[in-house]
Amino acid sequence: MVKYHVNPKTGEPGLCGAQANNCPFGGGDVHYPTKEAARSAYEKTMAAPAFNFKPHLTAISRKTASYPAKNFVGGHLRQLVDSGKPSRLLDYGCGRGTDVEFYRSFGGGEVYGYDPHWAPAEPEGQFNVVAMSYVLNVVESKEKRLEVLKKASASLAPGGEMFVSVRSHSTIEKEAAKNGWTPRGDGYITSLQRGTFQKGLTEEELQQLGAEAGLTDLKLIKHPDALTLSGTKIS
Ligand SMILES: C[S@@+](CC[C@H](N)C(=O)[O-])C[C@H]1O[C@@H](n2cnc3c(N)ncnc32)[C@H](O)[C@@H]1O
């Protein structure tokens, strides 16, 4: 069947000559039966209010806890629990809650999860540990990322530790090239129909966000496809 797409670099619609699912500009959700339909869908996508962001649909069903939960946040929580120090943990943007269950399995302290879609009741009070895993990379602009990080870090008790994990810039760039994601803002629309977006962060971008959000003693940990920034709050 004849299919038309739009070259995101030029904004022009054209006939797709790629073999099945091999088009550099995207999969079935960005191919249309006519040039006009391709142009119209592209224009709608590019007009910010017309693109219906649904970041909650990026939350996967995890079989086990996430890499940062197992390797960094969990270890920190265990130290607090074992040393009898206060250990109130908030998983901010917890998605379907697999990491929350993992932290609760430690059997010490209090563990809460918050997510605007999956767990919308905002827990009250301050927390000694705030974890935010793979949230900033689904948020569609730098301004909004900073807003989200500031809001999450506002829940930290003085001296508390924050762990912010994001998918790395290089990983997202590779996936975008492989899957033909459509560029948007400083990231990519990963599915038009689902309304999902990804922006991989560089080490500098993540550190800058941490500093702008008022976190100090910043430490960057690199892992295979992602980055974790830890930082504390002085007051
Ligand atoms: C990729 S999922 C990660 C979920 C979970 N942390 C995990 O690692 O499995 C991104 C999550 O960020 C949440 N999210 C999006 N915008 C948010 C915001 N402004 N504040 C808090 N969470 C947000 C979404 O609802 C979604 O569940």
Q: 5: helix, coil or strand?
A: strand
Q: Residue 1: what pLDDT? A: 66
Q: Which of 47, 63, 84 is the last residue of a domain?
A: 47
Tell whether 102 and 22 lie within a shared domain.
Answer: no
Q: 89: helix, coil or strand?
A: strand
Tell whether 13 and 68 lie within a shared domain.
Answer: no
Tell me which residue has its CA closest to atom 4 in ligand 1.
95
Q: Give the separation between CA 54 and CA 51, rounded to whole angstroms.
A: 9
Q: Residue 193: what pLDDT? A: 85
Q: 37 is in which domain, residue-wise?
A: 1-47
Q: Residue 107: what pLDDT? A: 85
Q: Give the separation between CA 113 and CA 130, rounded to whole angstroms.
A: 10
Tell whether 126 and 32 lie within a shared domain.
Answer: no
Tell whether 38 and 129 lie within a shared domain.
Answer: no
Q: Give the separation between CA 18 and CA 39, rounded to whole angstroms.
A: 18
100 neighbors 131 (Cβ within 8 angstroms): no
Q: Tell whether 70 is covered by a domain.
A: yes
Tell whether 31 and 130 lie within a shared domain.
Answer: no
Tell whether 145 and 102 lie within a shared domain.
Answer: yes
Dihedral angle, C-alpha 24, 25, 27, 28, nearest 10 °:
-130
CB atoms within 10 A of CB 171: 17
- Pocket probe for ligand 1: among 138, 162, 168, the residue whose CB has the most ligand atoms within 8 Å is 138
**pTM surpassing 0.95?**
no
Q: How many domains does the chain have?
A: 2
Q: Residue 17: what pLDDT? A: 86
Ligand 1 atom closest to Cα of residue 91: 6
Chain center to CA of 53:
13
Q: Tell whether 129 is covered by a domain.
A: yes
Tell whether 221 and 131 lie within a shared domain.
Answer: yes
Q: Which residues line ligand 1 (CB under 6 A)?
A: 55-56, 58-59, 62, 66, 92-95, 99, 115-118, 133-135, 138-139, 148
Tell whether 90 and 115 lie within a shared domain.
Answer: yes
| Mean pLDDT per 10-residue section of the chain, whose length is 235 residues | 80 84 75 88 66 88 95 93 91 97 91 97 96 97 96 95 98 95 92 92 97 97 95 85
Q: Tell whether 184 is covered by a domain.
A: no
